[in-house]
Structure 1
């Protein structure tokens, strides 16, 4: 298993991957990427030689490997500490712990995750997708394929996050509408107001407290539940 060798002589660069293949790129070296284009990468790999190859391939593209972890290390803690742009996992057979770590990252600090593996089992791939993996590659890594794979994974991640944010916003709006209607009815009953007056009172409360009208409505509902509970306790005594 060969470790990557990036050499420059007469404008020729050779990168030998761990499968024994070579990528040849003629012409002068590319200039360093602008800071906005450089990626901060966390690499997860138990194979030292393979990890060295991937690191060199990323450096050749102008990216920064900000952490190299084994499969047993805490990925979530590392991501919180170094705040990478992308996570790259490379291993023969994805362990359950690794997929659980990916799922924890996706839930708490989402990042694009690229997974290189030799395991093409459909169940494993499904587990990886559920864990938030943006790209699952089963036919090995070659240096010349790394950039397009990263580009596609990041684009898919951003689109997924956009859809997720839109869904969260829709759920919030629906919850706000439901709670506002309940709070209006409650205020109208307690204060003997019509619907417009109850809404105006709720809106004024939100503006005074500098919160959304949905949050103001939930405060009213919570206070009403507390009063009902207190009243029930006194009646029992």
Structure 2
């Protein structure tokens, strides 16, 4: 079983595809697959699950660029896109679509490996940021539910906020559950009763 990074190269022109493959082979041990027809890109990526997607496109339009970017699963893996030229706003559209590296002036064999490394590093950085954002949102939502539950306890029992939290915490410990889970159950139950 190989631990080589799997790279899917999307290039319609066979000669250009071979240049990319050759430069990747010179740069390291990669499992390389070439896709010449981008229309089936999403299905092939779903089937083969590459670690990285490299797309070489001579003259992208906004629609083709976004379609290629979205089909390559930019939230699931790094995507590097090489274009020969780029109209105004296309690089921003590519980055917004999740492309990790957008390189204008086409593919040059000597630049493939450093750009691949940059795309992977950038993808990992954004992946960490997305995870941190999701965790922060979850913590904020849990905090809101805990505050609602404390308010309900304060009203029902006539206690202050610290005492309400102590009641929630004790219930969580007694049930071997998280405070946020006990608070959510309380809020849900009170919602059903009102």
If the TM-score is normalised by the length of the shorter chain, which range does it land in?
0.7 to 0.9
5 Å matches for 1:1-237?
Answer: 38-61=4-27, 62-66=29-33, 68=35, 70-75=37-42, 77-95=43-61, 96-103=63-70, 105-107=73-75, 109=76, 111-207=77-173, 212-228=178-194
The TM-score normalised by the length of structure 2 is 0.81
TM-align CA RMSD: 2.7
Larger RCO (CA under 8 A, 6+ residues apart):
2
Query: Mind listing any 5+ residue stretches in structure 2 that lack a counterpart?
Result: none
Give SS of 2:99's match: coil
Query: Mind listing any 5+ residue stretches in structure 1 that lack a counterpart?
Result: 1-34, 229-237
- Report the structure number with the largest CA radius of gyration: 1
State the 1:161 CA deviation: 2.1
1:116-150 superposed Cα distances (whole Å, 9 cap, x missing partner): 01232122111101011111111121222111111
Give SS of 1:122's match: coil
More helix by share: 2
The TM-score normalised by the length of structure 1 is 0.68
Aligned residues: 190
